[in-house]
Amino acid sequence: MKLFMKILKKLIIVIIATNIIIPHFIEISFCQKMEDNIKNEINEWIEWAKIAWRYFEPGVGVDKNTGLHRASLYWNAFTDWDLGGYLITILYAEKIGLINREGEWGADKRIEKVLDFLERRELKEDGIAYSGYDMNGKPLYSTSITNPSDSGRLLIALYMIKKYKPYFSSRIDNIVYKKHNYKKIAMDNEAWKTTSDFYAYYVAHGFKFFNFDNYTPVANALNEINSMRNREKVDVYGIKLPKADITMEPLLHIIFELEPNEEIMNYAYKIYLAQELRYKNTKRYTAWSEGNAPRPAHAPVRAPWYVYEWIVLRDGRTWIITPKQIIPVTYTKAAIGLHALFNTNYTKNMVDYIIKNFELLDLDLENGFFEGINDAGEIVLERIDKTNTLIIEAAYYAIKKLTEKTHKLNIQNIKKIYTLGEGIEIKLNFSGIELPYPHNHIWEIGIYNGSEKIIEEKHITEKHNVTLAYNIENGGLYNLSCKMAIDYNGCNSSIYNSTNILIYSAQIFSIKAPLIANINESIKIVANIKYDLYTKDLGNIGIPLQLKIINRENNQTLVINQTKPLNGSGIIPINFIIRAPSIEKNLGLAIESYYKINDEWVHDKTGWRKEFDIKIVKQNITQTEIYILKYETIKETKTIIKTITEKFETIKTIIKTSEYLNNLIIILIGLLIIAIISILSAITMIKGRKIYRV
């Protein structure tokens, strides 16, 4: 039987250990595997971004002399839409770490070359830009002018540069407000008829950022999302979408460049689902946008084969391509953009399908990504700026989102309760996958008492952790709020954490006791205690105070009083009665205040103890005698002050009339000694005549 019990005990221990240790190791293994998968995904996004950036290298898509880019390897020119896209690409390439800020072809130099062009480019007489310029900065067409869409995208790019690189702000403001006449475009109703719905909503933000949103066409465009909300819906493979001009291009720009609200993200998800359902019904990958289509063999190189693929049109038609019907194209930029947004099996398989087809045909990606693949399996061999711009934007969005999944901000070494005067040491620790490019950690710490800000600090460091120490002067319930932002070129990825701190306090606010008492007299003493004892968060009904009166001569406790449990803050009077000694003496006393934490009586670091004296005498002192003593003290004090004043007046007279410096110095020293003696006499007399302490 004993052997059986021993075996049973060991078996129970093994079972308990198994249930505790094995799940712990499984959890660690799962977390490690998840982190490894995320790292692999990040590396993949970085590789795609590097391929896309090849298009913008000098000598490929960017002119080595002017620093201006071209919209396509087949078209050595650009529109303002394209130019805005190039500026945004520079910003995102720097954020990812594809280029540095400094250097001949660093981000700032590239931006400066574009700003130089915008400051000096030729415009129409009314300050409106031409529709296109070549890589030397010359207008392409003498009669064709730009439009709200192209202008709006350029304005968005200029605003983003102001935001992330404010040292360019004055130049940009001059370009927008003085060089160009964007006001005329903002108020041109006819011009705004060339854009609609998500496109209009997107480009209108550029005008809004520079305060042109008070013009009706811009205001109407900014209201497009609200307008779509109330429109009739169209059924697209079971997904209800509004009657609107819908394609992926403007939605991706809104999400990657602006600050989309929940409604925009819901639209994006529904539009994504409609495309996935088309794939399930047709077995054709679907990522519709705008871009180039395969050119027929007989078509000239410059033939207009740029198309727009509409999932829905305003008239309710679905899956329409304009300006000419072609075999639908699955665009590389739209597929990768959807993958950045939703990261589903469908988006992953679609991106793999496109890239593997490029590899199978041994296509060279040294100059960036190709446009895409049509439903017949043909590769669209064009390479353009818009495709590679969106891929770089998508890469940054995805990298940021993936790393944030693993980020944690831990508040360590913090206690729930502190005593007043006790130093508070806080350790903040960041954990998770780091962004794959140089960055700082910006630590922001705030300590609040309700809405009142007690402490606010900001620390910028490369370290993953900081240790901070504080000493708060008053008791109470405080909230410690921490924010850690991973900062790279003004683009923040932030995480938050907060906790409550209780600082208990029981301070002796005042003591009322007589200065003189008769021998064997009952002496009443009142101690007013200012307390801060918040206990609701701890589930307690309250905390009692304990006060002691101590005889300082022998450190003996004369009396102990304890209050009922307290919760909150306030001032409470506590009464004591002690018996005076039977002999004349100076009775030295002290009052000490305590409160209970975890069944222990503790006290503040300061303000918890006050000492005072009571003179014990034989004779009785009547109230009338007290008043006489008070009167005489005040009278004699006034006399001393008057004497001191007269002495100083004498000093002034002597200074004015004295002829010899030596005599003056001797007189001044003598009068100063008289003044000091008089002041000390006054203080001594006043102290000797005090009767009550309050």
Residue 24 has pLDDT above 50, yes or no: no
pTM of the model: 0.70
Least confident of 47-51, 384-388, 433-437, 608-612: 433-437
Burial 624-653 (b: 16+ CB within 10 A, else e): eeeeebeeebeeeeeebeeebeeeeeebee
- Report if residue 3 sits inside a domain: yes
Last residue of a domain, one of 188, 221, 254: 221
Evaluate whether 228 touches 202 at the Cβ level (below 8 Å): no
Instruction: Provide the CATH number for the domain around residue 487.
Output: 2.60.40.1940
630 in a structural domain: yes
Which of 405, 437, 470 lies at the terminal end of a domain, its last residue? 405
291 and 354 co-located in one domain: yes
Query: Are residue 419 and residue 495 in the same domain, yes or no?
Result: yes
Distance CA 535, CA 417 (A): 10
- The per-residue pLDDT for 288 is 98
Of the CA atoms within 13 Å of residue 395, those in its CB half-sphere come to 29
Q: Which of 165, 198, 221 is the last residue of a domain?
A: 221
pLDDT band at 490 (very low <50, low <70, confident <90, very high): very low
Residue 509 has pLDDT above 60, yes or no: yes
At 268, the pLDDT band (50, 70, 90 cuts) reads very high
What residues make up the domain containing 108? Answer: 57-221
> 489 with 571, same domain?
no
| Helical spans, DSSP H, in 507-554 | none
Predicted pLDDT of residue 472? 85
Domain check: are 416 and 393 in the same one? no
Instruction: Flag whether pLDDT at 167 surpasses 90.
Output: yes
Mean pLDDT score of the chain: 85
DSSP state of 72: B
CATH code, domain carrying 207: 1.50.10.140
Residue 389 corresponds to which amino acid? T
pLDDT of residue 225: 94
CB 470 within 8 A of CB 423: yes
Q: Is residue 477 part of a domain?
A: yes
Range among 134-148, 239-253, 295-309, 635-649 with highest mean pLDDT value: 239-253
Whether 584 and 668 map to the same domain: the answer is no
330 and 261 within one domain? yes
pLDDT at res. 177: 97
Rounded CA-CA distance 542/538 in Å is: 10
Mean pLDDT of 283-300: 84
Query: Which strands, in side-by-side order, build the sheet including 329-331?
Result: 329-331, 372-374, 379-380
Pairing mode, if any, of strands 440-449 and 476-488?
Answer: antiparallel
Q: Is the pLDDT of residue 628 over 70?
A: no
Q: Stretch 173-201: mean pLDDT, rounded?
A: 97
**536 — pLDDT class (breaks 50, 70, 90):** low
Residue 179 maps to a domain: yes
Please report the pLDDT score of residue 201 as a whole number. Answer: 98
Percent of the chain with pLDDT over 70: 81
Span of 117-126, 218-227, 586-595 with lowest mean pLDDT: 586-595
pLDDT reported for residue 438: 61
Residue 364 has pLDDT above 80, yes or no: yes
- Same domain, yes or no, for 6 and 66? no
